[in-house]
Each structure stands twice: as structure tokens, then as C-alpha cells.
């Protein structure tokens, strides 16, 4: 990736060159005696204490006296960088000691462009936001090129920074969302805003997707509305129905103690209710006991029955019941 200036506007062009990722570079003093590849391997093991599973590559640049160590995970690389504080010592067979600088590959002094930052934001505030990424050498305002009428600032801050940690593509300075770019900048994840990976490879996304897959229903369950509880209920209901069908089809004898199925039990229950109903016993549903003062004599239907019950044989009784046939 490189930058072209076209009519005062910088254009970032992508190239096939890939930046090193998860790699430390150990720079040996060029004035010290040369070191063999075998001795470099032993120095890495004795000084950096790196097991083989933490390393995926060791590349030696003999001309520039540099060694590139690529790690299997970024956290292990950062731990080594923090533990060495960027400096180590190599002891030669002659007893001579030489300094070794340890840093993240692709670091060094970078020209950082910050777009979208209002001019009212103080320089001290900008420095405070960028200090954790490296040592700030200089901050200046970028201006429009000579081809333009107004030779004023174009609103872009240019920061010369000795990187010790890559910057994300987007960040916030004094509450303002700004865009950050420089040559050799790794891709930034739009999910966690951390440099070094893209969104589809985000470790936070993978953990989240795993947790959701453990708790969410599958698409098939959503479409068919089938869950394990529903299926279990259906299987239990089918087992009960099959048992009832077998019991109905089995002939019974007087000596068998067969459990009634649900339908037969309901029929027997209904029969018991009918037999116990007050309507079938002739008793009043309200009065359970007869009143001793109540006249329980049968209502007369003829003159003879009326006379037997003591109503007499006067003209009024005869008119009421008529003459007895």
C-alpha cells in the first residue's frame, strides 16, 4: 500500500505487498560478530523462553542482522514484548555482549493522518490520546496544495509517531469520531475496533456465535414449532392411547382385575351421578329431610277419596270433585 498525491489530494493505493502480522523483529547490533543460525535458535529458547508451539516461523535476515519471529497468537507476542521492554542482550562466545532491540515488525516511525478532528481540539488532547501507541515526534496541520486557491488547512492532522502498537482505523478523540490511516496499517475489525483482524475472524464474534448456538433453537425447530418438550408430550400421549386401545380389545372374565380405560371410567362416573341425582329419587333437591308438619297425604282425585280424607260430602265438595262414578 502506498500514497499518491493528485492535485493536492492524497490517494491510498492497495498493492500485493502484505504487512507482517503477529511478528516480532529482533535487531542485532551490526557492529557485533556474526551469529550462526544454530546460535540464534538457542538464544531464542534460552532468552525469550519460547516453546515450539508458540512459534510458527523464524526468519533470519543476515544482511540487516535481523530475526523475524512469527507467533501463533498475538497475546503471547505482546507478553514477550512487555517482558523484555523492547531490549535484550546477546552474549557471544568471546564474552562480548551486544544489545538486541525487540519490537513489533512493521513498526518504526510512521506518518499518521487523522481526518475529521475539529481544529478547536487542543494539541495536548491529541497527544494524550495517541501516547499509548508510541512516541510522538511531531504534530502539524496538513494544507491544500499549491494548485488550489486557498493555501489553508484541509482539516487533516499529520502525526509523526514512533509506533509501539498499531492504531485502529477509527477512534474517538475528545468525543469526536476520527479516521486514522498510515502506510502499513493492519485491517481493523468493525466489531471490536481492534487492529490485526477483520470482522469475520473476530474472536469475540466467534465466542458470541458459539453461545448463541448453544441457546438458540435451530431453524427447523422454528419452522415446525417442534421442541423437545412438545415431542415428548406427543410420544407420551401416543403411548397412553395405544395402551387404552389394547385394553379395549382384550376380552375380560369375571376373575380378571382389569383397569378401566379413560372412557369406561367416565361412563361409570356419569352413571353414578345419574343414580345419585335428586331428580331420579323423587326427593326435593333442596329439602333432604321431610318436614314433620308437612301434609304428606295424597291429593284426592275423586269424591270418595275426598270423603275418606275427611273433607265431608257437602255440596261444595260434591261440586269440586263431582259425583263418584
Q: What pLDDT, on a 0 to 100 scale, did the predictor assign at position 266? A: 52
The verdict on residue 86 lying in a domain is yes
Pairing outcome for strands 23-28 and 55-61: unpaired
The verdict on residue 233 lying in a domain is no
Instruction: Provide the pLDDT confidence category of residue 144 given band limits of 50, 70 and 90.
Output: very high
The rounded mean pLDDT for the chain is 74
Q: Ranked by mean pLDDT, which of 127-136, 204-213, 216-225 comes out on top?
A: 127-136
Three-class SS state of 180? strand
Residues 89, 168 within the same domain: no
- pLDDT tens figures, 190-200: 777 777 677 77
- pLDDT tens figures, 26-45: 999 988 888 999 999 999 99
Q: What is the mean pLDDT of residues 195-218?
A: 65
Domain count along the chain: 2
Q: What is the mean pLDDT of residues 307-314?
A: 55
Domain end (from 39, 70, 104)? 104
Q: What pLDDT, on a 0 to 100 scale, did the predictor assign at position 6? A: 45
Q: What percent of the chain has pLDDT over 70?
A: 56
What are the backbone dihedrals phi and psi of residue 220, each rounded to the nearest 5 degrees, phi first?
-65, -40
Q: What is the mean pLDDT of residues 170-187?
A: 89
The verdict on residue 115 lying in a domain is yes
Nearest to 119 by CA among 157, 79, 152, 148: 157
Residue range of the domain that includes 61: 20-104
Q: Of residues 10 and 183, which shows the higher confidence score?
A: 183
Instruction: Provide the pLDDT confidence category of residue 285 given band limits of 50, 70 and 90.
Output: very low
Instruction: Provide the pLDDT confidence category of residue 268 given band limits of 50, 70 and 90.
Output: low
Lowest mean pLDDT among 14-23, 58-67, 213-222, 261-270: 261-270
The verdict on residue 223 lying in a domain is no
CATH number at residue 46: 3.30.70.330
Instruction: Provide the pLDDT confidence category of residue 74 given band limits of 50, 70 and 90.
Output: confident
CA 16 to CA 30: how far, in whole Å?
A: 30
Q: Residue 156 above 50 pLDDT? A: yes
**Cα angle for residues 132, 73, 111 (degrees, 5° grid):** 35
Residues 92, 142 within the same domain: no
The verdict on residue 122 lying in a domain is yes
The verdict on residue 159 lying in a domain is yes
Q: Residue 206 above 70 pLDDT? A: no
The verdict on residue 310 lying in a domain is no
- pLDDT tens figures, 75-107: 898 899 889 888 899 999 888 999 998 988 877
Q: What pLDDT, on a 0 to 100 scale, did the predictor assign at position 221? A: 57
Q: What pLDDT, on a 0 to 100 scale, did the predictor assign at position 310? A: 57
Domain end (from 185, 206, 227)? 206
Q: What is the mean pLDDT of residues 297-319?
A: 56
Q: What is the pTM of this model?
A: 0.43
Cell digits of residue 82: 512487555
Query: Any idea what DSSP says for residue 148?
Result: S
Nearest to 190 by CA among 123, 294, 182, 179: 179
Amino acid at each position: 500500500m502506498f500514497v499518491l498525491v493528485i492535485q493536492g489530494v492524497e490517494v491510498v493505493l492497495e498493492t500485493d505487498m502484505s504487512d507482517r502480522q503477529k511478528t516480532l523483529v529482533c535487531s542485532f547490533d551490526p557492529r557485533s560478530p556474526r551469529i550462526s543460525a544454530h546460535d540464534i535458535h538457542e538464544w531464542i529458547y534460552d532468552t525469550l523462553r519460547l516453546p515450539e508451539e508458540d512459534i510458527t516461523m523464524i526468519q533470519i535476515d543476515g544482511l540487516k542482522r535481523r530475526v523475524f519471529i512469527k507467533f501463533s497468537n498475538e497475546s503471547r507476542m505482546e507478553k514477550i514484548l512487555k517482558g523484555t521492554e523492547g531490549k535484550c542482550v546477546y552474549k557471544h562466545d568471546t564474552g562480548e555482549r551486544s544489545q538486541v532491540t525487540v519490537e513489533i515488525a512493521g513498526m518504526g516511525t510512521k506518518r499518521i493522518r487523522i481526518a475529521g478532528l475539529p481544529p478547536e481540539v487542543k494539541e495536548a488532547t491529541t497527544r494524550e490520546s495517541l501516547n499509548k501507541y508510541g512516541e510522538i515526534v511531531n504534530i502539524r496541520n496538513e494544507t491544500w496544495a499549491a494548485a488550489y486557491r486557498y493555501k489553508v488547512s484541509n482539516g487533516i492532522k499529520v502525526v509523526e509517531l514512533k509506533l509501539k502498537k498499531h492504531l485502529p482505523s477509527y477512534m474517538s478523540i475528545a468525543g469526536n469520531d476520527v479516521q486514522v490511516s498510515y502506510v502499513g496499517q493492519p485491517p481493523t475489525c468493525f466489531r471490536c475496533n481492534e487492529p490485526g483482524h477483520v470482522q469475520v475472524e473476530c474472536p469475540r464474534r466467534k465466542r458470541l456465535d458459539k453461545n448463541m448456538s448453544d441457546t438458540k433453537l435451530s431453524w427447523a425447530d422454528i419452522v415446525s414449532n417442534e421442541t423437545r418438550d412438545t415431542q415428548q408430550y406427543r410420544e407420551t400421549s401416543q403411548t397412553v392411547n395405544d395402551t387404552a386401545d389394547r385394553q379395549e380389545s382384550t376380552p375380560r372374565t369375571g376373575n380378571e382385575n382389569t383397569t378401566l380405560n379413560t372412557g369406561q371410567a367416565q361412563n361409570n362416573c356419569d352413571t353414578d351421578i345419574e343414580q345419585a341425582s335428586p331428580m331420579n329419587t323423587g326427593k326435593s333437591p333442596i329439602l333432604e329431610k321431610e318436614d314433620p308438619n308437612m301434609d304428606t297425604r295424597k291429593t284426592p282425585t275423586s269424591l270418595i277419596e275426598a270423603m275418606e280424607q275427611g273433607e265431608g260430602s257437602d255440596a261444595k265438595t260434591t261440586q269440586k270433585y263431582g259425583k263418584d262414578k
